[in-house]
Amino acid sequence: MVFSSILFIFRFLPIAMILYFLTPTKFKNLTLLLVSLIFYSWGEPKYFLIMVASIVVDYLVSRGIEKSRNNKKICILLLSISMIFNLGMLFFFKYFNFFIENLNNILGMSLKYVNITLPLGISFYTFQTMSYTIDVFLGKVKAEKNIINFGAFVCLFPQLIAGPIVKYTDINLELKHRKIDIIQIQDGIELFIIGLGSKVLIANNIGAFWSEIEGRGFGGVGTIIAWMSVLAFALQIYFDFSGYSLMAIGLGKILGFNFPRNFNYPYISKSITEFWRRWHITLGAWFKEYVYIPLGGNRVGRLRLYINLFIVWFLTGFWHGASYNFILWGLYFFILISIEKAVLLKFLKNNKIISHIYSIFFILLGWAIFAVVDLEQLKILLKEMFSISKNTQWIYYVRNYGITFIIATVLSTPMVKNIYNKLIKSDILKTVILMVIFLISIAYLVDATYNPFLYFRF
């Protein structure tokens, strides 16, 4: 079940909200836990026990660590159990067949694949529960005594499937004591509608162009169409994922939670380093806090710094999927960020126009690597992007998608938001605008058959 669906908006969400607000404060987390488990199990009930097991294991481990503070060996053992369980589950469901395939290809073996589907959101909630156990081990937070509260944190439905990656330290106080007022609910509804519009009206429309070109194959599309298709994917994945994050943050506000921001107009960046401070912020923060800093961060020698960066970016790429293109994508950004740290950042800061052109060029090239799983097709796409073709089919696509490209590009900058905040002061006018966005989005969902969500596969 996705947020941008008639089923969620008009069936699940109203029922969940009615139950939540009718429930006495003392039992609200229990209601959240139950409706979140229903949400998670809706499409894949067979993975219900996996979610329950994740809750129980990390709850018991963290409680054990709390009670064994004076015995470091037991604490390390318990933390190891949590890490092995969480990473083991992630490895089995997401990477097991990838390794089987490589063993078969490299060693000429005939190992059988496991017929499994990836549980929804496993990459996200695995990182959330691991961060909780690590924080308890490090003494950053005390172990949650109430398993209902902990369960509500793990499978809180607004951020369960695709983030933002919410750490326990982000919302532990709100799990126990949260206030909900009409202003917060209004803000939450506004964010949800803007996110819905971003996903349905922008991402889906621009994504249709990428899907059309990808579906026919990249051979012979020509230079202009090749770059247009990658730009379409870049805009699609941004509005798709940032829109979903806004919906999640909005739903969190309605329920009384303040989730961290996940996107901050990444396409206005003046460097690749800045881009990754603005894109999928919670994932970058997770890797920084739990991988980069423990490795020594930048408080080490030059060689060790680049080794640390290599590890972080290899893991970032591999986190996105069990495929070589994701690994290449991660290493591609490792190279760019390493070059920037070594020699380029000062130059980019002093040359704003060049820095924008540089950033967009390499960001788009990165999305080409990310988008195409088949390496042979990726080679074809890159060849088309960097060859000179006289193909004139691009005129047809500009005629059909030109306005969509312009709208999406403008909306990927803070321009419209700044104008909106300055000029739209009337609550009535804001309500009218939001209602129009909502109604058009619903009309699109009723009529459209194209409604993918790219980050479900991660």
| CA–CA dist 4, 234 (Å, integer) | 20
H or E segment at 264? none
Catalytic status, residue 320: yes
H or E segment at 307? helix 302-320
Closest CA to 178 of 258, 260, 251: 258
Work out the burial of residue 391: count CB atoms within 10 Å of its CB; fewer than 13 is exposed, 13-18 middle, 19 or more buried. middle
Tokens of 32: 């959240």
Contacts of 236 (CB under 8 A, 6+ apart): 203, 206, 207, 210, 454
| CA–CA dist 175, 50 (Å, integer) | 23
Q: If you ran DSSP here, which 8-state letter would residue 9 be given? A: I
Please list the helix, strand and coil fractions of the chain in percent, rounded to the nearest 5, in that order. 75, 0, 25
Sign of CA dihedral 421, 426, 428, 429: negative
| Half-sphere exposure for 254 (CA within 13 Å, toward CB) | 24
| CA–CA dist 381, 453 (Å, integer) | 23
Catalytic residue among 177, 280, 320, 356: 320
C-alpha pair distances (Å), 109 with each of 91, 95, 100, 104, 137:
20, 18, 9, 4, 41
| CA–CA dist 22, 144 (Å, integer) | 25
Q: Is residue 110 within 8 Å of 151, Cβ to Cβ?
A: no
| CA–CA dist 135, 132 (Å, integer) | 5
Q: What count of other Cβ atoms lies within 10 Å of the Cβ of residue 329?
A: 23
Q: Which sequence positions are flagged as catalytic?
A: 320
